Structure 1
Amino acid sequence: MSTQQFDSTAQYIATDALKLAVNAARILEKPLLVKGEPGTGKTLLAEQIAQSLDLKLITWHIKSTTKAQQGLYEYDAVSRLRDSQLGDDRVYDIHNYIKPGKLWEAFSQDQRCVLLIDEIDKADIEFPNDLLHELDKMSFYVYETGETITAKQRPIVIISSNNEKELPDAFLRRCFFHYIEFPDQQTMRQIIDVHFPKISQKLVDDALKIFFKLRDIPNLKKPPSTSELIDWLRLLMADDLPENILQQSGENSIPPLYGALIKNEQDIQLLERLAFLARR
C-alpha cells in the first residue's frame, strides 16, 4: 500500500480529524463510512482523495431502486433470448450478456483506485448487508460464467450516508466511521478562501454573521449548508450588490437572494414572521 497520506487540496479543506479518518481506513483496509449534514462535502471528499493520491475515481450513485447485485454485474437474459430467436451467433458466448457493475470495474483496475458508494442510505435496508462479503473479501462469484472476480488491487472504498436510515450493525462493524462535523467559522473562512481567493473580507464577515444566525434559528426545517453558502456568496458577488447590503438587511429582514440559502416555504414563512416581529 502507498505510504502517501491524504491531505487538503487546492479545492478541499480537510480537518485534522477527517485526514486521520481517511488514513486510518487505508491502514486498516476497511471502507470509510462518512456521515454528516447534506452539503458538508461527503461526495466531494472521495473526489479529492482520488486527486490528492493521484488515483482513478469510480462512483456508484445509489438510488431508492438500486440493488446490490447491480454493483457486481447484471445478466441480460431477455437480450440473449431475443438473439437466440433471431439466430444471432452472439448467443453462444454468455459473456456478451454480462454487464459489469461498479464493483467489478473497481476490482478490475490494474492500479489502485477510489470507489465511492454514494448515499448508501437511499437504498433499502438489506442493501448494505448484501455487500458484506464483497467489500470484506474483495471478490464475488459470477454464477452464469462460473468465474470468481477478485480485486487486482484493493480499492479505497468511501461510503457516504445522509443518515436517512440506520445501517445494519454487521455492516458498520466492517467500516471505519467518521462524522463530518459542520464547519466552525474559522474552517468556513478557509473553505470560502479556497472558492473565492479575492473576495472582500467585509462581505465574508457580514455573510457569515447572517449564515450562522440562520442556522441557529430554532425549528428551521433545513438549515443552510456549506454548499448553499458558497452558492449564495457567488450570487452576491455576481450581482455586484452594494458592499453594505448585508448589514442593511441582516437584522430585521430576510437576506437578499435568500433562495440560495432557504429551500422550503415553511422556513421562508418562519423567517418572515421573525422579521416582522423584529421590526415591531
Structure 2
Amino acid sequence: MDGSWRLFRGDGERRGLPLPPPPPWRRFGGTGQSGGDGRSGAAERSPYLIERRHADIVNAALHLRRPLLVTGHPGTGKSSLARAVAYELDLGDVLRWPVNSRSTVQDALYRYDAIGRLREATLSRDRNVPEPPIGDFVRLGPLGTALTAPGRPRVLLVDELDKGDVDLPNDLLTVFEEGEFEVPELARLPEDQHAVEVLTARADERTTVLRGQVRCREFPIVVITSNGERDFPPAFLRRCVRLELPDPDEERLRAIVSAHLGAGSLLAVDDLLQAFLHRRAPGELATDQLLNAVFLRAGGVDLDAEGLLDAVLHRLGGAI
C-alpha cells in the first residue's frame, strides 16, 4: 500500500493533498441539478442490471399505470430502479419522496406558507408596494409535482414507505385512484384569480393551478420501495404491481462488478467475492459494499490490512 493511499494520517500535519477520483457511483453533477436535457446524471453514470423476469414486472406496471411496489433487502437496488426507469425512458430527474415516521400525504402534495405570506403582506403595505402573489407561497411536493406533468409522465420514487405511519398507505389511495387533489387556499380565491402559478418541487420551475385543482394528464410512474418492516393493507396492495428483488447470486454479482468497474476488475476479485458471499446473510450485506471493496483493491489498497476489510464489508443489521 503506497503513501498516496493515506491521505489522512492522523498526525496533525497539514498537507493539502488532492483527493483521487471517486468511484463512478459516487460522482455528482456539482449543482445537484440535471443538465439542459433534464436527464438524471446519476442514472447515466450507474448502469443498472435486472433479470428479464423482473423487467417484465416493471413493464406490467408501466402498461397498467399502476404503482410499482418494490421490496427486498437493503442494497438490492430498489431505489436505483426508479432512476434506471427514468433514464431508459428519458423522463428526466426522479422526484423523490423519502418517507419517515412524520410523513403525511399533505407534505407530498403541497405546502402553503401562510406565515411567510402574512409577513410579506405586512412589509408590502409598509413599503406601499403590491403584495406578492399567493402562488409565491404555495409549493407542490414531489407527489403534487409528479401529477402536473404537462406531457410525458414523471417518475416518482416513494422511498421506504414502510417507515411511515400505519395509515399512510391508505391515505395515498385516493390520490393514486383519482390522480388529482385540491389546494383549498387557491380554490377559495375570487374567479378573477382562477389561474395561479405555484412553485414545484423542482428548482426554478412553476406550474399553473386552475381553480385550486391539480389534475394529472399522465399518471406518473410511481416506484414505491419497502424493506419489509411492515405489512401494507390489502386495499393498497390491490392497487400496486409487486416486485421482490432477490439478493444477487455469484453470477449476477460478477456482472454488476463488471458493469460498474469494467471487465478488468474481475481479474482479482475472486477472494473478495467469496468473502462477500461467506459473510452475507439475508439482509446483512449490500451489493455496493462489494463494489466498494473491489474499487479499493483496483486502486492498490491492501484490504488485508488490520480491520480494513471488516470496515468495508460490515454487517447492516444487529450490533456493530
Q: TM-score per shorter chain, which class? A: 0.7 to 0.9
Write the distance in 2 (CA, Å) between the matches of 1:202 and 1:187. 16
Contact 1:46/1:116 (8 A) holds in 2: yes
**Alignment match, 1:5:** none
Alignment partner of 1:259 is 2:320: no
| Aligned partner letter, 1:67 | T
What TM-score, normalized to structure 1?
0.79
**Alignment match, 1:124:** 165
Alignment partner of 1:169 is 2:169: no
**Alignment match, 2:136:** 96
SS at match of 1:199: helix
| Aligned partner letter, 1:260 | V
SS at match of 1:55: coil
**Alignment match, 2:216:** 151
Structure 1: 5+ residue stretches without partners: 1-8, 269-280
1:255, distance to aligned residue in structure 2 (A): 7.6
| Aligned partner letter, 2:164 | A
| Aligned partner letter, 2:116 | S
Contact 1:90/1:96 (8 A) holds in 2: no
1:82, distance to aligned residue in structure 2 (A): 2.5
1:65, distance to aligned residue in structure 2 (A): 2.2
1:35, distance to aligned residue in structure 2 (A): 0.6
Alignment counterpart, residue 178 of structure 1, candidates 243, 249, 255: 243
Alignment partner of 1:236 is 2:301: no
1:166, distance to aligned residue in structure 2 (A): 2.1
Structure 2: 5+ residue stretches without partners: 1-43, 188-211
Alignment counterpart, residue 148 of structure 2, candidates 108, 115, 119: 108
Contact 2:109/2:141 (8 A) holds in 1: yes
| Aligned partner letter, 1:63 | N
**Alignment match, 2:16:** none
1:83, distance to aligned residue in structure 2 (A): 3.1
The residue correspondences of 1:16-55 to structure 2 (distance < 5 A) are 16-55=52-91
Write the distance in 2 (CA, Å) between the matches of 1:227 and 1:92. 47
Write the distance in 2 (CA, Å) between the matches of 1:82 and 1:136. 37
Write the distance in 1 (CA, Å) between the matches of 2:161 and 2:88. 24
1:168, distance to aligned residue in structure 2 (A): 2.2
Contact 1:115/1:156 (8 A) holds in 2: yes
**Alignment match, 2:183:** 142
The verdict on how the C-alpha distance between 1:134 and 1:90 changes in structure 2, with shifts beyond 3 A counting, is farther
The verdict on how the C-alpha distance between 1:267 and 1:82 changes in structure 2, with shifts beyond 3 A counting, is closer
Write the distance in 2 (CA, Å) between the matches of 1:177 and 1:258. 35
Identity within the alignment, %: 35
- Structure with the largest fraction of helix: 1
Write the distance in 2 (CA, Å) between the matches of 1:91 and 1:100. 21
Write the distance in 2 (CA, Å) between the matches of 1:194 and 1:92. 51
1:135, distance to aligned residue in structure 2 (A): 1.4
SS at match of 2:274: helix
1:91, distance to aligned residue in structure 2 (A): 5.3
